[in-house]
Structure 1
Amino acid sequence: MLSNVKSVKYILNATLSLTIMIILAIIFKFIPFGGPEDRTMLTIDLGQQYIDFFSTFRKTLLSDPRQLLYSFEKGIGGEMIGLWAYYLISPFNLIFLFFNENNLDLGVTFLTIAKILAASTTFFYFNQKKYQSNPYIAMAFAQCYAFMSYTITFQLNIMWFDALILLPIVALGLDYIIKGRKPWLYVISLALLIMFHYYIGMMVCFFLALYAAYLIIENQDQFVFKKFIIQYFIFIKYSIFAVLIAGIVLVPTVDSMTASKGAQLDPETELIFEFVQEHHFVDVWSKMFMGGFVYDEMSSGSPNIYAGMLTWLLVFFYFFNRNIKLSEKITSLIIIIIFYFSFSIELLDKLWHGGQFPIWYDFRFSFTFSFFMLTLAIKAFDRTTKTIPIYQIVIVLISMAVITFGYFKYTNYSYHTPEKLFMSLAFFVILLVIMQLTMLPEHIKSSLLLLVTCFELTTNAVLILSEIDNYVQPSKFNDYISTLSKAVDPLKHDDSSFYRIHKTFQRTKNEAMYNHYHGLDHFGSTIEVRTTQLYGFLGLPNTSNAVNYTNGTLFTDDLFDIRYLLDISSNTRIYTKDDGYVLYRRASDFDINAYPILDKENRYVTHENTERLGFAVEVSPEIVNAKFEDFLPIDNQEMLLQLIDYEGNGETYFKKKAFNEVVYNNLEVADKGDGDFYTYRATSKDQKGSFTLYFDTESENPYYFTLPSQFSNSNVSIQLNNDKYSFYTPAEGRQITNASFNHIQSDQNIRVNLKKDSLKSNLISLYEFDLKRYEEMINSKQNHLFDVISFKQNEIQGTIDIQQKKGYLLIPLPYDKHWKITVNNKKIKPIPVLSDTMMALPLTKGPHNISMTYFPNTIWYGLVSTLIGILLVLLDQKFLFRETTYSIKS
């Protein structure tokens, strides 16, 4: 039979998983099972972040390995070790080497299929090695694991799935060491799991601390406390060895986190030791039914714990089964209770997530709960007698019916419908009936359980995937990628010069990493906090995990060395095909007209900025004392300008202008707060309120607004002179946006329309920029710029002739201690300046040769950790071998 042919079992299990995946792909028309007008699997962060990183992965391995360390395609420049460790280190990503950059969206489909197949296979292997279940039942449980709600809901976070793949192997290896077998499987698999994704790996380690206790109890015929402690310390010992071996990735990653996620951790707000309940008992267990998902669950929701009705059915019987020890049941129940409180109490939830609440995708550790439930279900099936007592069947059936009816009658969760609830109950009953068909041969009964389970899991997946509606269309994706390549590729020069490219349009914030140019935007969990702070100080859109250069001033364009600027053409919509991507400006931009047009195409226009401040710029010694101020972006830019214009007379470049008047329409100011923080309230509920500010532009200079941080596209819309005015959100600070350029006009106006009945915000301010004097200053700097002689992603060489007796070279990059810098062949440490956001070098008057190399020493420390871990395991095994040999001889 099938049970006697090992390879056939695994092939059949994989074929079953592949069949389900293909059925889902056909139903939802994912490429290659749908046409160019249908769907890719790119949705939410997979379409907005990860796809761009996959292109970086491909380029790094094929042509530019320096981007393993640092990249100027990430924002204004940033370290890459953290990004690789969080997003890209999975060996499954090698799949992308078989695709070119024009069809990486297709590669994502194959990557997803490969990872789900791998998860199914490893769980099947775990089952066969630990429980020796009959192959059909083992396949059923493998499908439950591969297609549980967590997997379907979070498949867009594809980088997490390496942990799901390796968890069954780690669990099997842990079982081996508890039974006194060799530790290699456990140590190596756990080390790989942590290396492939340290963040989810941390959650797995928390789970293993619970699972180890369960395994020790499971393997003891009679509980002996001393033996329990000894075995638990053995688990801890080998876990430490695994963590040490993972050090080659873990040590530099932890170091990089101190500049990104770790730097954003606020002990006063994040590590509050309060037992606040975020989800009640009914909330948590509402997810035990099929289709327990709606789109809003992405941003906030209860844990995804559904892993098939077969799992829940057998977990019920697990606690009834007299063939399972009471101590084991008590341990299992304690672990389930711990999981419940982890799902329910804020403090425990945060601890599972490393001390911080996740941004979207709550309860990222819930797959470990599903894994544990599956192990209990397998154990229950393994120990269940051929005939289940009638009283147990009645209790289980009534319990499930009461639970289902209770959720139907007394709750109103958006993801519950009567159809979903009673369909779940129906599958529960069908599976229960099949288990009671004792007259059937075992392999027939097992086959029926497998088929029903597969049908149920497929139905659940369809219900969940139907709730996600914003998949990227293949034709639009490929149109945008090809259009951007056509626009950007001619601007990439083969020489060693350095410059950046900015676009007024974008599909994602990371497309500089897809099309491989030096941009200024980035969206990712590993972004340096200094970068986000710098953008906020300068009035550019920023959040805790993203920066977006949508509304730079003429000064910041020069500061960040932006040479080329791409804008949409006036006829871009006319020249866009029906199934193409329509280019549009993310924010109203008038400054771009200050730059001459270099090239004009049907859908976009290329401008060139010919005079800039270069890669680095000489500034006044006053920079060591200068600090940025929160929510004062104009003041911060002015301070920077004065530091650069060290020979100037100190006259300001930005001059604040007063509004002529403000007119309220169906709106009143209910409170003025401290004088700059107004509470607006609609006077009539029948229509929305608005207020209009009138102003004059008396010159052709650029004029700028500063918009309060409280403005967002969800609570206001803005019009400038009755035309739609676009501004980018979200932004955590006050934004500088264009008001006018080269346009003299009296009585201009900006109108703010409230989308809600009330609004609390600071006031809008208006500034005029002295363009003529600024251009004279920039022109005077052109003969003394930093001259880049050689540029590579982590190695820059150049020269500069310092004009001051004692000056400073400001390098507009996020400060990073891992830059190794030599000036005239002498090592010099860069100093953090401007609220520690950027770095500067103290230099004396005269010419200087400067060399910058980025290489974190923590890589060497990590390598030492790995070698120590391997050595400790070898010594441990050698010692145990000698001890065992001595015992045998004795």
Structure 2
Amino acid sequence: MKKKNYYKNYPILFSAVFTAAVLLMISAVKGFFPFGDASLAVGDAVLQYVPLLSELRDRLFDGGIFSYSFSSGLGFDFFTAGVYYFLSPFTVLSVLVPGLTAFEAFDLAVMLKVIAAACCFSYYLKISLPGKDSLIPAFSVCYALCGFFTGYSSNIMWLDALIFLPLIALGIERIVEERGGVLYCAALGVAIITSFYTGYMLCIFSVLYFLIRIFGSEGLTSSHNKIASCKPPVASDEDGGEDLYEGRALLPILLKFGGYSLLAGALSAVTLIPLFSALGNSFIKFGEEDTFLFGLADFFTGHLMGTNSVGSYGSIDIPHPFFYCGFLILLLVPLFMLVKKIKLSERVAYCALTLLLILSLLISKANLVWHGISVPAGFPYRFVFLYVFLICVMAYRVFRHLDSIKGIYIASTGVLSIVVCLSLLFQSNEFYTTKIALLNILFIVLICAALLLYKYRNKKRAAILAVTTVLVLAEAFTNAAISVTVNEKDRISILEQQQACVKTVLTANEKSLQRSEVVGDKLAFGLKGSFFGCNGISTFSSLSDEILTFSIGGLGLSHNTQNAIIYGKQTPVFDSFFALKYLYDFSDEDRDDTYYKPLDLSDEDKAECGLNAYEYKYPLPLAFAVNEGITDWLATMLSGFKSQNSLFENATGIKDVFTRQEPGEIKAQNAETDLLSHLIKEDESIMNMTPEMYAEFTRDKYLIKYTKPETVKVTNTFKVETDEPVYLIYSSDMFNNLTILAGGGKEREILYMQNLAAPLIPLIGIKKGDTVTLTAELSDSAKQEYLKGKKIDKNESIVQFSFYSLDEEKFFRGYEYLKEGALKIEEYDGSYIKGTVAAKENQMIFTSIPYSDGWSAYIDGEEVEVLCPEDTHLILLDVEAGQHTLEMKYEVPGLKIGLMVSAASAVLLMLFILLEYKRDRK
């Protein structure tokens, strides 16, 4: 009996083996784990997922709490981040494998998820459409290694949807067939827990799929056959059986579907409630008008081999959804309406849902609804996996009835596919080359021939099926070899080496709630503290607080307006206020020894990765007493210097710690220049600003007019008129390469990231009387783009050169004032801080901890209100004069109630499982 059941499950086993074999071949060719040192972690994976996996590994192996982390972005809810990014059993298991790096664990998790997706899809086909199992592995490979895998595998949390979607669909079919809803409820609940984002999409799809099953079934079945028996639900109209659904009541099934759907949501409450709390201040934006997101040529291109790669286009410029799932699917799906053994109502229902998904991908506002009413930042069309599942199922159903379809129709789909491949060569797409087109045509011809042979050579069908499976595997491998993007081993090797160096030095130095930052590293930006194992400021996360990002970035850090902050070289004002103590620098740039003391490192650490470490001499803790005027801090001013001036003045009462210096003479090669402030008339109002306000806003900004941006150079010659430290703000919407030659010393070249605000730049090693020459131009890569004929949308650009000096006497006076009210930390564990603080008078406690509903504060044992300033979202506390004990505690918001709801729902689900088991035993 065991052998028989094992034999019956061979499609699932072969699906896993074939998918694993293709993945291993791709690994060998592309050089990622286990056959190389490259990695599937590209883009967001390097900046977000791998750092969080590194931190998860540290906490699992070294011990640590899982509620809160100070590693990145000044602090964040680690539990919620885990729910959002890596709460998948495959991800956690990969991290637990001894000896793997975070990059290797990432690659292993991707491969395990893809294999699991193939198994679940084969299970779905075997149970839902039994009887012809021989080609199930080929269809499962098509599903698992589709364009969603090749294009989106770097966003590892989305791959779980490929695993659970077939189980959800099968569960819905069981409800419609009156066979219970436990499978549907459990699969949907776990899908939401592992990734609420794709879980939301699965919820919408579940309703639509339920409706088409109801519509196509013309009623409900009373069958109670066991899934384990692998038998079809009694008989099917596809097999010429009688109509099973006549006269069945619809209302009980609707109620059952609704009830199990609600129970699935309740099961996931342990993750949903905390997550929705965390998303309260994240960036959400609805589109303004309906547009079509891709054209007809893009639609066809997206189905072809070799066109589903983020690496080809860049995540922001993906021209079409990644529809690809193989030519076995593409050749059979157009024949779906011709299969008369499938009821007409069912054929119409499936085609209608397919059309709805296409329109949802095409129309911008419908697309946004599927993305949670939020503009997807890069990686559009994230729900395309639903379309892939549907057409794979439809294609398999066509294959089951291939005998009933005329050969001329099969040949016609092949011919039409070839015509499309050839016609697309005349479209403007530099990545769809003649070579790619010929590869597509080759596989179309081979697979079309295999289908025709299968139809007409009955006696050799087993051999033909084997050949067809081999062709499918070869096609899947070829597509992945072209489309899968990897992070090259050289960069991965350097990152891992730099990570090891920093962690070694961290172990040797004090590890406390004081912050550390890493600069000059290969990671560049992202969740750097998570990756390097320190408490940092830099961040890049979908869960970032938009207001916090804007206010901290507004102090002069490189940032966007949504979710990214990059710590660079900063002022003493910022470093003191935000508790910086250590700086780990992989560049060879100098530091101001007035403020930074070099740390003694071993020659080995310096030689291996070029690490220089510094201790900041004037750190303040995470909390300290300040004047009550801190509530008047204007955190979103237009200049980083003005914002820091406002912060310092309202905290200490000392004005103008930074003083503006007159910029030098500006010249432009092959362009005309003019001050932006000269372009407004005295009585004119722009952006609701008076002429005086506009003049302040445009100070130090110049309008550069040109015809060929690749030939333009803008030069500013600045003469230093002070012995105080001098800082620069440079910004431009076009010229992203700045070269600084200061005081006759070595040149510094700074390449600015697009779409990020420019940071403050310390001008190190200069003295009064020196001349600083700054030259701005396009970067070499941007020049190449324009030389290739990139369209110029405008012929002008704004360039800003602003210089400010730090009044050191004022800074040190203010620092000593704040130091007197510094929190002396006595105890902490990440989610609990205890210490003493002294207030000279009724003051406020300023903290560099982001506000969250999870924080509570106690002064001398009594709970006090945790204040959240509207324009900063940094925690403030009221404190009276005197010596006080301060305690701060963090609990994940909504976790307790979520646990209770999920636990109660799990008990209820177990009861339903027992009832179904007893019923099936009868």
- TM-score, length of structure 1 as denominator length: 0.89
Kindly tell me: are residues 874 and 481 of structure 1, through their superposed partners in 2, closer, same or farther at Cα, counting changes over 3 Å? Answer: closer
1:753-809 alpha-carbon deviations (Å, 9 max, x no partner): 2467844225321111111331233234434321011121111111111012x1111
Are 2:865 and 1:858 equivalent residues in the alignment? no
Kindly tell me: are residues 823 and 194 of structure 1, through their superposed partners in 2, closer, same or farther at Cα, counting changes over 3 Å? Answer: same
Q: 2:619 aligns with which of 612, 625, 632?
A: 612
Aligned residue for 2:840, secondary structure, equals strand
Contact 2:518 2:583 in 1 (8 A): yes
Match of residue 469 from structure 2: 450
1:192-217 alpha-carbon deviations (Å, 9 max, x no partner): 00000000111111222221122223
For 1:104 and 1:84, locate their aligned partners in 2 and report how far apart those are by CA, in whole Å: 15
For 1:433 and 1:477, locate their aligned partners in 2 and report how far apart those are by CA, in whole Å: 52
For 1:29 and 1:836, locate their aligned partners in 2 and report how far apart those are by CA, in whole Å: 45
Match of residue 399 from structure 1: 416
Which stretches in structure 1 are left out of the alignment for 5+ residues? 569-583
For 2:445 and 2:348, locate their aligned partners in 1 and report how far apart those are by CA, in whole Å: 30
1:373-417 alpha-carbon deviations (Å, 9 max, x no partner): 0111121122333x6324423543443343333323456463353
Contact 1:784 1:800 in 2 (8 A): yes
For 1:430 and 1:670, locate their aligned partners in 2 and report how far apart those are by CA, in whole Å: 69
Contact 1:83 1:526 in 2 (8 A): yes
Match of residue 600 from structure 2: 599
Match of residue 47 from structure 1: 46
Equivalent position amino acid for 2:359 in 1: F
Residue 635 of structure 1 and its aligned partner are, at CA, apart by 1.3
1:661-711 alpha-carbon deviations (Å, 9 max, x no partner): 22232220378345525431236x496222222222233311111223636
Match of residue 71 from structure 1: 69
- Counterparts of 1:580-591 in structure 2, within 5 Å, are 584=587, 590-591=591-592
Match of residue 21 from structure 1: 23
Residue 65 of structure 1 and its aligned partner are, at CA, apart by 4.5
For 1:486 and 1:820, locate their aligned partners in 2 and report how far apart those are by CA, in whole Å: 34
Q: 1:367 aligns with which of 381, 385, 400?
A: 385
Residues matched between the structures, number: 845
Kindly tell me: are residues 171 and 398 of structure 1, through their superposed partners in 2, closer, same or farther at Cα, counting changes over 3 Å? Answer: same
Equivalent position amino acid for 1:10 in 2: I
Are 2:646 and 1:639 equivalent residues in the alignment? yes
Larger CA deviation: 590-599 vs 519-528? 590-599
Contact 2:16 2:115 in 1 (8 A): yes
Aligned residue for 1:31, secondary structure, equals coil
Match of residue 578 from structure 1: none
Match of residue 430 from structure 1: 449
Query: Deviating runs (4+, > 6 A) in structure 1?
Result: 1-4, 222-226, 874-882
Are 2:787 and 1:785 equivalent residues in the alignment? no
Equivalent position amino acid for 2:18 in 1: L
For 1:830 and 1:251, locate their aligned partners in 2 and report how far apart those are by CA, in whole Å: 21
Match of residue 520 from structure 2: 505
Match of residue 225 from structure 2: none
Residue 742 of structure 1 and its aligned partner are, at CA, apart by 5.4
Contact 2:660 2:805 in 1 (8 A): yes
- Counterparts of 1:696-707 in structure 2, within 5 Å, are 696-707=719-730
1:151-171 alpha-carbon deviations (Å, 9 max, x no partner): 122222222111211111111
Residue 855 of structure 1 and its aligned partner are, at CA, apart by 0.7
For 2:641 and 2:54, locate their aligned partners in 1 and report how far apart those are by CA, in whole Å: 37
Equivalent position amino acid for 1:596 in 2: K
Aligned residue for 1:599, secondary structure, equals coil
Residue 474 of structure 1 and its aligned partner are, at CA, apart by 5.0
Aligned residue for 1:821, secondary structure, equals strand
Match of residue 580 from structure 1: none
For 1:545 and 1:435, locate their aligned partners in 2 and report how far apart those are by CA, in whole Å: 54
Contact 2:859 2:884 in 1 (8 A): yes
For 1:631 and 1:151, locate their aligned partners in 2 and report how far apart those are by CA, in whole Å: 42
1:4-47 alpha-carbon deviations (Å, 9 max, x no partner): 7135443333222221111111122223323xxx5233322223
Q: 1:627 aligns with which of 618, 623, 634?
A: 634
Match of residue 553 from structure 2: 536
Match of residue 240 from structure 2: none
Aligned residue for 2:517, secondary structure, equals strand
Are 2:665 and 1:661 equivalent residues in the alignment? yes
Q: 2:128 aligns with which of 118, 130, 144?
A: 130
Aligned residue for 1:506, secondary structure, equals coil
Kindly tell me: are residues 284 and 194 of structure 1, through their superposed partners in 2, closer, same or farther at Cα, counting changes over 3 Å? Answer: same
Match of residue 718 from structure 2: 695
- TM-score, length of structure 2 as denominator length: 0.86
For 1:125 and 1:742, locate their aligned partners in 2 and report how far apart those are by CA, in whole Å: 70
Match of residue 352 from structure 1: 370
For 1:686 and 1:770, locate their aligned partners in 2 and report how far apart those are by CA, in whole Å: 38
Contact 2:548 2:872 in 1 (8 A): no
Match of residue 738 from structure 2: 717
Equivalent position amino acid for 2:457 in 1: T
Are 2:867 and 1:831 equivalent residues in the alignment? yes
Larger CA deviation: 764-773 vs 523-532? 523-532
Q: 1:244 aligns with which of 238, 244, 266?
A: 266
For 1:711 and 1:490, locate their aligned partners in 2 and report how far apart those are by CA, in whole Å: 44
Contact 2:141 2:473 in 1 (8 A): yes
Aligned residue for 1:380, secondary structure, equals helix
Kindly tell me: are residues 766 and 629 of structure 1, through their superposed partners in 2, closer, same or farther at Cα, counting changes over 3 Å? Answer: same
Equivalent position amino acid for 1:640 in 2: L
Residue 615 of structure 1 and its aligned partner are, at CA, apart by 1.8
Match of residue 576 from structure 1: none
Match of residue 800 from structure 1: 837
Contact 2:410 2:448 in 1 (8 A): no
Match of residue 302 from structure 2: 287
Kindly tell me: are residues 504 and 216 of structure 1, through their superposed partners in 2, closer, same or farther at Cα, counting changes over 3 Å? Answer: same
Equivalent position amino acid for 1:614 in 2: P
Match of residue 253 from structure 1: 275
Match of residue 704 from structure 2: 680
Equivalent position amino acid for 1:719 in 2: I
Aligned residue for 2:850, secondary structure, equals coil
For 2:778 and 2:141, locate their aligned partners in 1 and report how far apart those are by CA, in whole Å: 50
Kindly tell me: are residues 832 and 438 of structure 1, through their superposed partners in 2, closer, same or farther at Cα, counting changes over 3 Å? Answer: same
Match of residue 850 from structure 2: 814
Residue 142 of structure 1 and its aligned partner are, at CA, apart by 1.1
Match of residue 159 from structure 1: 157
Residue 530 of structure 1 and its aligned partner are, at CA, apart by 3.5
Contact 1:40 1:472 in 2 (8 A): no
For 1:328 and 1:303, locate their aligned partners in 2 and report how far apart those are by CA, in whole Å: 26
Match of residue 577 from structure 1: none
For 1:873 and 1:503, locate their aligned partners in 2 and report how far apart those are by CA, in whole Å: 48
Q: 2:146 aligns with which of 139, 145, 148?
A: 148
Match of residue 209 from structure 2: 211
Kindly tell me: are residues 866 and 96 of structure 1, through their superposed partners in 2, closer, same or farther at Cα, counting changes over 3 Å? Answer: same
Equivalent position amino acid for 1:861 in 2: I
Contact 1:708 1:764 in 2 (8 A): yes
Contact 2:201 2:371 in 1 (8 A): yes
Larger CA deviation: 591-600 vs 670-679? 670-679
Kindly tell me: are residues 824 and 742 of structure 1, through their superposed partners in 2, closer, same or farther at Cα, counting changes over 3 Å? Answer: farther
For 2:615 and 2:151, locate their aligned partners in 1 and report how far apart those are by CA, in whole Å: 45
Are 2:852 and 1:845 equivalent residues in the alignment? no
Aligned-residue Cα RMSD (Å) equals 3.0
Residue 222 of structure 1 and its aligned partner are, at CA, apart by 8.9
Residue 131 of structure 1 and its aligned partner are, at CA, apart by 0.9
Q: 2:194 aligns with which of 187, 193, 196?
A: 196
Kindly tell me: are residues 856 and 47 of structure 1, through their superposed partners in 2, closer, same or farther at Cα, counting changes over 3 Å? Answer: closer
Match of residue 574 from structure 1: none
For 1:131 and 1:138, locate their aligned partners in 2 and report how far apart those are by CA, in whole Å: 10
Contact 1:57 1:88 in 2 (8 A): no
For 1:663 and 1:410, locate their aligned partners in 2 and report how far apart those are by CA, in whole Å: 43
Which stretches in structure 2 are left out of the alignment for 5+ residues? 219-242, 681-694, 784-791
Percent identity between matched residues is 21
Are 2:438 and 1:419 equivalent residues in the alignment? yes
Kindly tell me: are residues 202 and 549 of structure 1, through their superposed partners in 2, closer, same or farther at Cα, counting changes over 3 Å? Answer: same
For 1:784 and 1:410, locate their aligned partners in 2 and report how far apart those are by CA, in whole Å: 67
